Structure 1
Amino acid sequence: MHRRDILTLTAAGAAAAALPAPSSAKGAAPRSKTPDLFVRDWGEGRPVVFLAGWTLTSDTWGYVMQPLARQGLRTIAYDRRGHGGSADPGRGYDFDTLADDLKAVLERLDLKDVVLVAHSMGGGEAIRYFARHGGTRLSHLVLVAPATPCIMQKADNPMGVPAAALDQNRAVMARDFPAWMDANGGGFFTPDTSEGVKTWVKTQMQRTSLQALVECNRALCEADFRPELSKVSVPTLVLHGDKDASAPLDFTGRRTAAGIKGAKLVVYEGAPHGLFVSHAARLAADIAAFAKT
């Protein structure tokens, strides 16, 4: 296995020290503050780091990473804690900790001048990274179908989803996640998406632990990133499909772009939530062009 395929993040160093201290039963061996994270690292050149969406893994980015790597870019993606090949510590699924995990990856690989590409839930991790760490090491941000800025309904967010409905949805996931995927996956793809690709994406989602998928969903639905959008301090590109049923454009991408100073919104006509498979070639081209600005 390539030396960069598995990245072990230890508790040593400033990045790990910033993570919340773990709790353990008396006499039990303490658990690591930062789990081992599986990393894909292809190509050489300017680094482009990818964050996957909720319950998705680094695999999702392959059809985008490969063409970019051939163009002289170093493409890097990692599995969020509890997802795919990464360790499952059973906790730390809040956005503060997830943003600290991103910081640890960037520092361990000593990445600079990074183009950060984040899909769906990953957009929240990216925005929290700016709020929490000032965007250190980043030069550009690409938000792909972001599920920000605020999902839950509030007095000042009447378009949001009522908390009771979100709780009920999580209860269904916790009871039978495969059935939940079958019932809710249609809006993720286009009519011409192959059954093989659909199965491939569902298989990735089932590699997320039940604890991680439930708690990450809770964090995503309850977070309010509206005050943090102004913290994004690098050129930002928002790419969003107008047929996105998982994160409707007007509720998420358009509002997110409006809250980030100077952000550019590009709408993909007829595109669903899973742009990394439905529009992979166009996505790679747009990221490559933006990285050169």
Structure 2
Amino acid sequence: MGTLTLPDGVPLWIDDRGQGRPLLLLQGLQFPAGYFWQKNLEALAARHRVITLDLRGQGLSGKGSHGHSIAQCADDLAHVIAALDLHDLCLGGVAFGGMVVLDYLQRHGAGRLRSLWLSEMTPRLTNAEGWAHPTFGDFPPEAGAGFAAGVRADRTAALGGFLLGCFATTPDADTLAEMTRQTWLTPTDAVADLIDDMVKPDSRAMLAGISLPTLLIYGRRNNPVMPGEVGRWMAERIPDATLVELPDAGHSPFWDDPAGFNTALGDFAARH
């Protein structure tokens, strides 16, 4: 574990462990990496070199009043990949982390990558004409903007129910309390700014142009956040996609079914 300082002086918390072909994991919004990946790191690092990090403003990384956007996160990720001199990288993320990965691919290309993995993310969060898979099953664009405003006004009220909906089985009270404490390591302004930015991208058109082998991991049980068939929809459009659906997992397959998640990702990273 350590820190890597970005060109503008912001320190990023980084964990780099294991040996072998590199595998980089980007977690969902709010959570510090060390907590988010606690059920996955040991198993994955037994087979691969595994890099995790907290993006700027989040978790244990440096805080500030600027740079809370997907584009800035993608640029910061590019700096990390270059600073660690990573090549033949299997790069991916869950939810928000997956959105950053796709933006990285658009902004910086695939030159240092050998494969991608994406879990519980969508190329478009909100409703649109011809789009059958919005987040929550129905998420008007104006509701997305209102969500960010709600977080600024009362973060606990706005995000408490969302956290409960992320798991196939509701965690016990002590675990939920610790999860909530961990999310508060990320300031409210950063969370709200990033949510406001997350409702804007539409990456549907780029999927057919992804030339890398791509693993898609989605949960199928009690998943109100991604209730549709977005994983299958993406698998039909990314040319070299492999879809793994975990029947006992919800929106957090890395937590709900860590054995299934670790096997799927570890095996894929070994092959690609």
Q: CA deviation at 1:282?
A: 1.5
Partner of residue 5, structure 1? 2
Report what 1:227 is aligned to. 205
Contact 2:248-2:257 at 8 Å conserved across structures: no
The CA distance in 1 between the partners of 2:166 and 2:242, in whole Å, is 23
Deviations 1:111-136 (A, max 9, x none): 11111131001111111111111112
**Higher Cα radius of gyration:** 1
Question: Is the 1:114–1:140 contact (alpha carbons within 8 Å) kept by the matching residues of 2?
Answer: yes
Report the alpha carbon displacement of residue 194 of structure 1 after superposing the two structures with TM.
Answer: 3.5
Q: Look up the match of 1:154.
A: 128
Q: Are positions 1:248 and 2:233 aligned together? A: no
Alpha-carbon distance in structure 2 between the residues aligned to 1:198 and 1:277: 13
Q: Percent identical across equivalent pairs?
A: 29
Point out 4+ residue stretches in structure 1 off by more than 4 angstroms. Answer: none
Which residue of the partner structure matches residue 113 of structure 1? 88
Find out whether 1:123 has 2:98 as its counterpart.
Answer: yes
Instruction: Give, in whole Å, the separation in 2 of the partners of 1:159 and 1:75.
Output: 32
Q: 3-state SS of the aligned residue for 1:212?
A: helix
Distance in 2 of aligned mates of 1:108 and 1:231: 27
CA contact (8 A) 1:242 1:249 kept: no
Gaps of 5+ in 1: 12-31
CA contact (8 A) 2:211 2:240 kept: no
Paired residues in the alignment total 265
Range 188-197 or range 107-116, more displaced: 188-197
SS of 2:13's partner is strand
> Per-residue deviation at 1:55?
1.5
The structural deviation recorded for 1:210 is: 1.3
Which residue of structure 2 lines up, in the alignment, with residue 183 of structure 1? 161
Q: Deviations along 1:227-259, whole A, 9 cap, x unmatched?
A: 222342210010101132223342x32333233
What TM-score do the two structures reach when normalised by structure 1? 0.84
Q: Following the alignment from structure 2 to structure 1, what is the Cα–Cα distance between the partners of residues 71 and 99?
A: 10
Q: Aligned match of 2:53 in 78, 82, 93?
A: 78
Pick closer, same or farther for the CA change 1:255–1:94 going to 2, 3 Å: farther
Q: Which residue is equivalent to 2:37?
A: 61
CA RMSD of aligned residues (A): 1.9
Q: Is the 8 A contact 1:93 1:212 kept in 2?
A: yes
Unpaired stretches in structure 2, ≥5 consecutive residues: none
Tell whether the 8 Å contact from 1:112 to 1:138 is kept in structure 2 after alignment: yes
8 Å CA contact 2:115, 2:214 repeated in 1: yes
Determine the structure 2 residue equivalent to 1:172: 150
TM-score normalised to the size of structure 2? 0.90
